[in-house]
Amino acid sequence: MGAVRRSFAPWSDPSATPLIRAENVTKRFGDSVAVDNLSVDIFEREFFCLLGPSGCGKTTLMRMIAGFEEPTAGRITLAGKSLAGVPPYRRPVNMMFQSYALFPHMSVERNIAFGLKQDRLPKGEIAARVEEMLRLVQLEKLAKRSPSQLSGGQRQRVALARALAKRPKVLLLDEPLGALDKKLREETQFELMDIQHELGMTFIVVTHDQEEAMTMADRIAVMDHGRIVQVATPGEIYEQPKTRFIAEFVGDVNILEGHVLGQEQGLWRVRSSGAATPLTIDDPDEVLHENQAVAIAVRPEKMVIQRDPPGPDAVNVLTGEVWDIGYLGDWTVYRVKLGSGAIIRVTRANRSRFVESPIDWDEQVYVTFAPDAAVILAE
């Protein structure tokens, strides 16, 4: 997980004070609730991602921090001071807009200088700061151009430079990479992380792209229906999702539905229609009772596919036939149809260039996974 910096975890320090704190914030538009009684702490120097499907309220939360919307209830504080009633032009927060919102009648240079001019800084200082920003985003040569003469990637950089120019305490980024193509998006992710680290600023990014969030964030808040369902590091979100929604939203996952049989030596035994024998799951933190309906989530890369039957001691054996094979170069994806009719996804890293008699379509196969590869999600 990209951005996890060793020993940077202010959220686990109870004495640390957050830079931004949202307390029981609710925002209603007419009858619909965009943000529902939401509380979250964001710390200084943190790279924080708000992740969720469209309409989950992430953009509304960001716009409330920027000052374009006022909460219907609850309050947002910045460095201990309430932001209620403070207009956007008086908040020490800047935003990079999804559409970039570059002023089309101003050159790149004047776009970047706009915020500094509002502060009435001396001319020399403005020029120096603009230059510094242009260097930061590597656009020195395009200073005199107008935004319409720039490529999508260059516009994105101008928007970033303009938002950074005032050195805000917090930079808000609304889908910052949404309009870029895949290659550029990847490069830019790492650039954003470098810039954030270099300037020591707090970044709050709104995105619907889980890969983007996983790569860049120190912590991710997964949002759904106006609430935060889990706030955790990318690793925790991926490996210990709290709910089925998170497991399915972040990455690919196989869900096996079943009923709890009981606990043996700290391991849960679960009967699932997909498997002939009860499954053994190592998820000691869950508190479950007998006969409870549960969902078992297993990531495709944590499953092993094989042609030969596993030994008699093997646990968690599923049988089925190969329904589909997708060769992606680095990975091969197998879609396996189980006896129950459910289709699961298994991925295998292609470690060697040639495989003798590879697994083929319609073949009978065994799929196994280790007890600690799975997570039990209460239904």
Partner 1 sequence: MTRRLSLFNITSLVLGFAFLYLPILLLIVYSFNASRLVTVWGGFSTQWYVALFRNEALMEAAWVTLRIALLSAALSTVLGTLAALALTRYGRFPGRTLFTGMVYAPMVMPEVITGLSLLLFFVAIGLDRGFWTITLAHTTLTMCFVTVVVQARLMSFDRSLEEAAMDLGAPPLRTFFSVTLPLIAPSIVAGFLLAFTLSMDDLVIASFNAGPGATTLPIKIYSQVRLGLSPEVNAASAILIGIVAVGVATATFLSKRSTLRSQRNAH
Binding site for partner 1 (CB under 8 A): 66-68, 87-90, 93-95, 97-99, 101-105, 114-115, 118-119, 147-148, 162-163, 166
Judged by phi (left if over 0) then psi (alpha if -120 to 50, else beta), residue 79 lies in left
Nearest distance from residue 101's CB to partner 1, in Å?
4
Cβ distance to partner 1 smaller for residue 130 or 294: 130
Q: Which of 32, 10, 31 is nearest to 21 (CA)?
A: 10
Nearest distance, CB of residue 95 and partner 1, angstroms: 5
Least spacing, CB of residue 62 vs partner 1, in Å: 11
Give the Cα separation of 337 and 333 in Å (integer): 13
Residue 3 CB, shortest distance to partner 1, in Å, is 25
Contact 260, 275 (CB under 8 A): no
Nearest distance in Å: CB 99, partner 1: 5
Query: Which residues fall within 8 angstroms of residue 227, CB to CB, at 6 or more apart?
Result: 36, 37, 38, 57
End-to-end CA distance of the chain: 28
- Smallest gap from Cβ 174 to partner 1, in A, equals 9
In a 10 Å sphere around its CB, with 0-12 CB exposed, 13-18 middle and 19+ buried, how is residue 47 labelled? buried
Closest CB to partner 1 among residues 100, 249 = 100
Closest contact distance (angstroms) between CB of 169 and partner 1 is 14
Specify the residue, 97 or 245, whose C-beta has the smaller distance to partner 1: 97
**Which CB sits closer to partner 1, 147 or 234?**
147
CB of 248 to partner 1, least distance (A): 32
CB of 86 to partner 1, least distance (A): 12
Pick 163 or 220: Cβ nearer partner 1: 163
150 versus 305: smaller Cβ distance to partner 1: 150
97 vs 366, beta carbon nearer partner 1: 97
Of 155 and 345, which has the nearer Cβ to partner 1?
A: 155
7: CB partners within 8 A, 6+ apart: none
Question: Between 54 and 148, whose beta carbon lies closer to partner 1?
Answer: 148
